[in-house]
Structure 1
């Protein structure tokens, strides 16, 4: 009979939380030690923001709002898409990080340790989502510095926009983790995850869907990024959201479930 003064045994949930927190600290520490990786992933959206505002801004704005928009209006149009593109580029780091752990043998070592099995992936996912949020704040600050304003958005709309960004980060991170698990090395993981940067280029990030060729419009309209971009524009700029809100949520939930199941199956597969 156990003593009433004996400490209670930790539950399965408490063990999962403890081990996941440890893995999260490990990934955040590695990100802090090697900040160049995150900064390199941020270069693409930042450079595109500056390029399309200061080089192509006057020309591109001619296609916004019936041809009567100026550069400031194009900045407002561009920024929501660039914020989501920032998430896409940042999550590539998760794919590379997971692939490094797999190729360097640390995952095999974790398999032999008395830790919660899923904590390794949870640490990568939570760490990547936090990096995505910080990256979005960084790119958003640059956008505000060059003229982006959202004066009509209410506090509730700002909260909804932030929630959408976090949900989108979670969805793409699980997909990126799956890509990292099936890649033989970090270089392959980086190449495999390139669609996370490529898809925003063929969305409504830079020009309206109506300005694209007719045969291409359905591809651009119903891919994951465009509904999320249009929803974010509606929340921050007051434009019409329509069916894009439900499409964005459906894409996020679908990609999260798909990425989670893919990652779990790949991680649990016996190593060769």
Structure 2
């Protein structure tokens, strides 16, 4: 099928560019490492407290992985802005490559990088000896990470097509990401928050992604948060990928 073949070609090119310039991938892994070694130890006295019943590290690391997906995927649009400025997108107008594939290939490349970074962080946390890892749950958790990264990468690429400027892109992304992160329970479980803030968090799909990641990480495969996160994040991913693909198709039409 032409779309699949074209998607693979665009994906391969994007991954090759990532491998040639891996600095961005390394930088996006360093920040979670800082949190892992400089912030997580502060939570160890909270083992057994509400929200930390499974352990401090077992609670914090899954949230950290969702944060990695949040920030790692939300900023991929900056690369597309550079390609717009260099005329790469303009030259694509005369190619027979599917316009949908041009978008999907880039999105899949961003998601692949995020999943590998998440897996590297889990392995690193496990090597510290302070974390009990339920690997089947981690495998399912990476599917949540994949959906999260796919959705955010699509949003980032769509915004890049609309804004066409790093000066506009940076504050827009930060304005969107910061409140999402703060009311998702990434840093601390929302059970510790006042009731009004917990009520607000229930409207944040990333709250369900964080709780699902924690449930899967601890081996609770039947948690309601798992199907809720899959439904909310999956539904939003389909909707936002459709929107971003339309924006991208118009840009290179």
TM range (shorter): 0.7 to 0.9
Distance 1:188 1:134, change over 3 A: farther
Which gives a bigger RCO, structure 1 or 2 (Cα 8 Å, sep 6+)? 2
Q: CA deviation at 1:197?
A: 5.8
For 2:6, the equivalent position in structure 1 comes to 19
Question: Structure 2 unaligned runs (5+)?
Answer: none
Q: Which residue number corresponds to residue 192 of structure 1?
A: 172
Separation in structure 2 between the aligned mates of residue 270 and residue 68 of structure 1, nearest angstrom: 47
Q: Name which of 19, 30, 39 aligns with 1:43.
A: 30
CA distance in 2, matches of 1:237, 1:226: 17
Distance, in Å, in 1 between the alignment partners of 2:223 and 2:191 is 16
Q: TM-score, normalised by structure 1?
A: 0.81
Moved over 6 A (4+): none
1:98, 1:124 within 8 Å by CA — same for their partners in 2?
A: no
Aligned-residue offset at 1:34: 1.8
Residue in structure 1 matching 2:232, options 226, 251, 254: 251
Of residues 127, 146, 150, the one that matches 1:166 is: 146
Q: Aligned pairs, how many?
A: 251
1:73-131 per-residue CA deviation (whole Å, 9 max, x = no partner) reads 21111011011111112113422122222232211110121222222112101101110
Q: Give the equivalent residue in structure 2 for 1:65.
A: 49
Which structure has more helix as a fraction of its residues? Answer: 2
- TM-score of the superposed pair, with normalisation by structure 2: 0.86
Which has more radius of gyration? Answer: 1
The alpha-carbon deviation at position 58 of structure 1 amounts to 4.1
- Give the secondary-structure state (helix, strand or coil) at the position aligned to 1:207: coil
Unaligned runs of 5+ in 1: 1-12
Output the CA distance in 1 between the equivalents of 2:180 and 2:34.
17
Q: Residues 213-234 of structure 1: CA distance to partner in whole angstroms, max 9, x if unpaired? A: 2221112233122111111221
TM-superposition CA deviations, 1:222-260 (whole Å, max 9, x none): 312211111122122145965322321122122212211
In the other structure, the counterpart of 1:9 is none
Looking at structure 1, the residues matched to 200 and 35 of structure 2 have their Cα atoms a distance apart, in angstroms, of 22
Instruction: Indicate the RMSD between aligned Cα atoms, in angstroms.
Output: 2.7
